[in-house]
Structure 1
C-alpha cells in the first residue's frame, strides 16, 4: 500500500488537484491529510469537498482548520492570516465548519503516526525546524515514522537511538531500528523557495518515504486570490 501524505493545502484547489493526480499516477491507493485544509487561499469549500471525496484516512486538524471552525477572536496571527481567516469563515457553512472542528489532533497506526505540528503537545502547534525540535517530538514517538506539516518546509530527521540527524535527499528508508520524523511540506503554500506543491509517498511494505514536488497552475490560483479581494501579498507568496 502506498499512502499519499498531504499537508497545508490552504484552500489552493489548483495545487491540490495536481497533487492528487500525481499521487494516483504514482500508485497511491490511499491519502492522508495532516491538516490546514483551509486558510490563505481562495478555494476553501472546494478543497474541503475534494479531501472528503478522497479515500483519505486520516484527516488531521490543523491550526487554521481550528480557527475556521470556531468563532473566537483571531488572536496571535499576522494581518494576512487574519484577513484570510475572516474571509474563510464567511465562505463556510455550519456543516463544513463542524467537520473541520471534529477532526482529530493525531492518528496512530501500527507503523506510523500522523499529526499536524508535533507530538510534543499537538494542540500547542510547535514548529519543527531543527534537530533539537525534532528530538522533542521523538520523546513522544513510539511508531517508526511520524508525519508532520505546519512549517511548510519538507524534510526528514532520523533518530538512530544515539543521535538525531537531518535526513539527506528526498527519499528515506525506514529501517527497523530507526525512527523517522518526516515533514511532507505544503501542498498549497510552500515556503522553501520552491513554488511547486509538496507532499510525500509512504510505501508501507517497502518501508520508504519519497518527497514529491508537483507543478501546478500558480497563475490561476493567484487570480482567484485577487478576485476574492484577499491581500495581494498572499498571491505573491505563491511565486
Structure 2
C-alpha cells in the first residue's frame, strides 16, 4: 500500500492541483492530511473541498483552528490575522463545523500522526533540529511519527545508539531496529528556499519512505494573492529561491 502524507496546504489550490497529478502518477492508494489546510493562500474553499473529497484522515493545524476560532490560539502576526479574517469569510458554516471537528493527532497502532509534535499536539512547537528530535522521541513509542508544521521535509532516525537527520533524499529503506520522526514538508508554502511542493509517500510493501518534490505554477499562486488584495508577504514567500 502506498500512503501519502501531506501537510500545510494553506489555501494554495495551484499547488494542490500539481499534487493531485503527482499522486496519480505515483499510484498512491490513500492520502492523509496533517493539517493547516487554511490561511495564507487565495483559494481556501477550493483547497478544503479537495481535502474533504480525497483524504482519509485529516488533522487540524493551528491556522485551521485560528480561522474557525474553535479554540484559542495565540497568533500575533497582523498580516496572518488579516489573512485569517478574509479566509473566514470564504467558508460556509458547514466548512467551519467540519474543520472545528477535526482532531489534532491520530493514533494508528505503530503510526502516530500530529500536525506539530507528539508530546503536546497543538503546542505549535517546531521540531527541526537534532536536539528537538532527541527531546521528542521519548514522547511516543510508535515506530513512526509523521508531522507537518515546519514546512520543511525532514527525516529523523533513531536506533539503539544514535539519532541522525537525513535531508534531500528521494527514498529511504525502513529498518526493523529504527524509529522514525518524519516532517512531511509543505504542499502550499515550502520554506526551505525550494519553491517546489513537498510530501511523503510510505510504501508499506516495499518498506520504504519516498520524499516527493513537485514543481507547480507558484508564480500564478502568488499573483492571485496579490490580485485579491491579500497581504503581499504571503505571495513573496511562495517565490523565494536560493
How far apart in 1 are the matches of 2:51 and 2:100? Answer: 15
Verify the 8 A CA contact 1:108 1:114 in the aligned structure 2: yes
Of 192-201 and 125-134, deviating more is 125-134
Structure 1: segments with no counterpart, 5+ residues: none
How far apart in 2 are the matches of 1:71 and 1:223? Answer: 31
Of 101-110 and 147-156, deviating more is 101-110
Verify the 8 A CA contact 2:128 2:154 in the aligned structure 1: no
How far apart in 2 are the matches of 1:44 and 1:216? Answer: 17
Verify the 8 A CA contact 1:144 1:174 in the aligned structure 2: no
Verify the 8 A CA contact 2:30 2:56 in the aligned structure 1: yes
1:102–1:76 Cα change, 3 Å? same
Of 133-142 and 118-127, deviating more is 133-142
Deviation at 1:177, TM superposition (A): 1.3
How far apart in 2 are the matches of 1:87 and 1:134? Answer: 36
How far apart in 2 are the matches of 1:201 and 1:192? Answer: 19
How far apart in 2 are the matches of 1:125 and 1:232? Answer: 24
Instruction: Check if 1:79 corresponds to 2:61.
Output: no
How far apart in 1 are the matches of 2:201 and 2:72? Answer: 37
How far apart in 1 are the matches of 2:56 and 2:10? Answer: 18
Deviation at 1:167, TM superposition (A): 2.0
Of 184-193 and 139-148, deviating more is 139-148
1:220–1:146 Cα change, 3 Å? same
Per the alignment, residue 64 of structure 1 pairs with 63
How far apart in 1 are the matches of 2:83 and 2:73? Answer: 11
Per the alignment, residue 114 of structure 1 pairs with 113
Per the alignment, residue 38 of structure 1 pairs with 38
Of 138-147 and 64-73, deviating more is 64-73
How far apart in 1 are the matches of 2:142 and 2:74? Answer: 34
C-alpha RMSD of the superposition: 1.5
Aligned length: 238
TM-score by length of 2: 0.93
Deviation at 1:205, TM superposition (A): 1.9
Deviations 1:53-98 (A, max 9, x none): 11x2211110011111117787433222111111111111111111
Verify the 8 A CA contact 2:62 2:73 in the aligned structure 1: no
How far apart in 2 are the matches of 1:128 and 1:170? Answer: 21
Per the alignment, residue 89 of structure 1 pairs with 88
Per the alignment, residue 154 of structure 1 pairs with 153
Per the alignment, residue 2 of structure 1 pairs with 2
Deviation at 1:163, TM superposition (A): 2.1
User: Mapping of 1:71-220 within 5 angstroms?
Assistant: 75-168=74-167, 169-220=169-220
**The residue matched to 2:238 in structure 1 has which SS?**
coil
Verify the 8 A CA contact 2:65 2:73 in the aligned structure 1: no
Structure 2: segments with no counterpart, 5+ residues: none
How far apart in 2 are the matches of 1:149 and 1:193? Answer: 17
Deviations 1:106-147 (A, max 9, x none): 112133211100002012121101011112221122221111
Verify the 8 A CA contact 1:74 1:82 in the aligned structure 2: no
